[in-house]
Amino acid sequence: EDQVTQSPEALRLQEGESSSLNCSYTVSGLRGLFWYRQDPGKGPEFLFTLYSAGEEKEKERLKATLTKKESFLHITAPKPEDSATYLCAVQAKYGGSQGNLIFGKGTKLSVKP
Amino acid sequence: GAGVSQSPSNKVTEKGKDVELRCDPISGHTALYWYRQRLGQGLEFLIYFQGNSAPDKSGLPSDRFSAERTGESVSTLTIQRTQQEDSAVYLCASSLVAGTDTQYFGPGTRLTVL
């Protein structure tokens, strides 16, 4: 069964304290792994897509990496405005769920000034 | 350009009533998806449409749920005889085509069933 597990469920950081969020996945052939940011009361906002192990992508203070079993979202010197829930999702290459995304439950990040 | 829009933003209904939720995808996007987000849970796939192909309904939780899409435009998700467990945020997303193209989400409709 295709599955995504994110850890930790919640993470509290001080402003400037770097850390990483984890996304572990099992999927019948990975078509793509997606990171989204979700603010309270809003829909998910796209951040990154990763397609193959070893791939990395960066945007401002965020860097996403991918291995064959997991992805990390590294946050460098976070600011309070980075506070949000970060969602990881995969899209399968085979099986019945080829079009839709399979989401983890998310990591709620709080950055205190 | 305009993003994905959804209406209403909030819907409160009584148990047993039918509700319709609307989604306007990004213009030119041929694929449209519906997801459900219950409190404390990850997004659950419900249904997706790709152009004029038959929709993938594999995520619909019961026959009380149905969805339609007119061509490559508006979609409506209908829930009949609502139950309290249907309370959730219903999110719509669209992409250029189904597959690896990025899915862009709307703001969601928060459904509360009393």
Tell whether B103 lies on the interface with A, counting CB pairs under 8 A. Answer: yes
> What value does the CA radius of gyration of chain A take, rounded to a whole number of Å?
14
Which pLDDT value is given to residue B2?
Answer: 84
| Structure token digits, residue B88 | 């959730």
Residue B21 φ then ψ, to 5°: -115, 140
Cβ neighbours of A99 in B, within 8 Å: 31, 33, 48, 50, 56, 98-99
Option in A43, A89, A99 nearest B50 (CB):
A99
Question: Where are any strands of DSSP class E within chain B?
Answer: 5-7, 10-13, 19-24, 31-37, 43-50, 65-69, 75-79, 88-95, 104-105, 109-113
State yes or no: pLDDT of A85 exceeds 90. yes
Q: Indicate if the pLDDT at residue A95 is higher than 90.
A: no
Contact A97, B53 (CB under 8 A): no
Residues from chain A contacting residue B106 (CB–CB below 8 Å): 43
- Residue-averaged pLDDT of chain A: 94
Tell me the pLDDT tens digit for each residue of B62-74: 999 999 998 888 9
Interface touch A46/B102, C-beta < 8 Å: yes
Predicted local confidence at residue A97, as pLDDT: 63
Residue B92's closest CA among B105, B79, B81, B103? Answer: B105
pLDDT at A56 over 90: yes
User: Is the sign of the CA dihedral A32, B38, A12, A47 positive or negative?
Assistant: positive
Residue A64 pLDDT class (50, 70, 90 cuts): very high
**CB-based contact A49:A59 (threshold 8 Å):** no
Q: Which residues of B fall within a CB distance of 8 Å from A31?
A: 99-100
B82 min Cα distance to partner chain A (Å): 22
What residue ranges of chain B have pLDDT lower than 50?
A: none
Asked if B44 and B38 count as a contact pair (C-beta separation under 8 A), the reply is yes
Of A82, A108, A101, the C-alpha closest to A2 is: A101
Q: What's the gap in Å between the CA of A109 and the closest CA on chain B?
A: 15
Within 8 A of A57 by CB-CB distance, chain B residues are none
Which tokens in the block code for residue A23? 């996304």
- Residue A94 binned pLDDT confidence (cut-offs 50, 70, 90): confident
Q: Is the pLDDT of residue A100 over 90?
A: no
Section A41-49 average pLDDT: 96
pLDDT at residue A99, as a whole number: 77
Mean pLDDT of A62-89: 97
pLDDT of residue B52: 83
- The reported pLDDT for the residue numbered A74 is 98
A interface with B, Cβ–Cβ < 8 A, is 4, 31-32, 34, 36, 41-46, 49, 51, 87, 89, 91, 96-106
What was the pLDDT predicted at A1? 83
Best mutation target, B29, B39, B43, to test chain A (most A CBs within 10 A): B43
User: Which of A23, A36, A100, A101 is the best residue to mutate to test the B interface, defined by the most B CB atoms within 10 Å of its own CB?
Assistant: A100
Position A98 scores a pLDDT of: 65
Measured between alpha carbons, how far is B36 from A100 in angstroms, rounded to an integer?
12
| Burial label, B101 (beta-carbon count in 10 A; 0-12, 13-18, 19+) | middle
